[in-house]
Amino acid sequence: MAIVLSAVTFDEVHTSAREKHEEVGGRDGRRIEISGVIAGEQTVAGVEAKLDAILAAASAEDYSSALSLRAGRQLWVRRVQFSRDVSPSTRVGSFVLAVEAKSPFEESVDARVTEWPISTQEAELGLLTQGNACALPVLTVVASGTLVNPSFSDGTRSILFSGTVQDGETLVLDCGEGRATLEGMDVTAYTTGFFPRVAPGGTTLRWADSTDSSHHANVTITLRDRWW
């Protein structure tokens, strides 16, 4: 497939990418070097415009640019280096663009959403991921009645919100960010444990709340498959 960076789709014939896993700032990282040739333009200005678009496609300030090297997958990257050259006589340009990924994992472009109605104090739901790395779901809980101390577990990791979620309120547990919000307010400090994951091959997600809870909620599970 053609390499895509933000709004730029690279020429498959004249572009290649090289990936390297390495430690960046004390954490696992992935650097990608994209190199290619700009050919077929009628003017030098046309070559320069395409090179300008490539430079602008990835910010040097933050990891806000989506890079797709494989169909249906993406990485979030920032630019770390860019070099370019233009031959006025042939109206051909060349470039080398180096980017660094925010996370070394690729994730699916499209998220999968599962609705899970809760009506008991304890419940289980089987989840699957198509990637070869653990998926990090976002768990959105909308309370029906008052929920007291809701929790989720994958059998190894459990996260408990110590508090109440009133009727109609929304609690969001973002397992990727390691963050909890209640009605948009950060309540991570009121959680204990570790955020669950969905392992390759499948995971049974377990729900529980206190005996004096309403035991009624609608849980929306949003996850993206991940690959190493």
At 41-85, the pLDDT tens digits run 999 999 999 999 999 999 999 999 999 999 999 999 999 999 999
Q: Is the pLDDT of residue 24 over 80?
A: no
Q: Is the pLDDT of residue 1 over 90?
A: no
Res. 228 pLDDT band, cuts 50 70 90: confident
pLDDT of residue 23: 63
The 8-class DSSP code of residue 167 comes to T
pLDDT digits (tens, 9 = 90+) for 183-206: 999 999 999 999 999 999 899 999
Walk me through the domains of the chain, giving residue ranges and CATH numbers: 4-104 (2.40.30), 111-227 (2.60.120.860)
pTM across the whole model: 0.84
Q: What is the DSSP string of 44-89?
A: HHHHHHHHHHHHHHS-SSSS-EEEESSTTEEEEEEEEEEEEEEETT
The CA-atom distances, in angstroms, between 97 and each of 10, 17, 83 are 12, 9, 7
The 8-class DSSP code of residue 10 comes to -
Res. 103 pLDDT band, cuts 50 70 90: confident
The least confident of 23-32, 154-163, 207-216 is 23-32
**Cβ-Cβ contacts under 8 Å for 25 (sequence gap 6 or more):** none
Residue 138 host element (H or E):
strand 138-143
Q: Is the pLDDT of residue 154 over 70?
A: yes
Share of residues in the chain with pLDDT > 90 (%): 93
The whole-angstrom separation of Cα 91 and Cα 89 is: 6
The whole-angstrom separation of Cα 176 and Cα 196 is: 9
Can you say whether residue 215 is alpha, beta or left, with left for phi > 0 and alpha for psi between -120 and 50 degrees?
Answer: left
Contact criterion met (CB below 8 Å) for 125 and 218: no
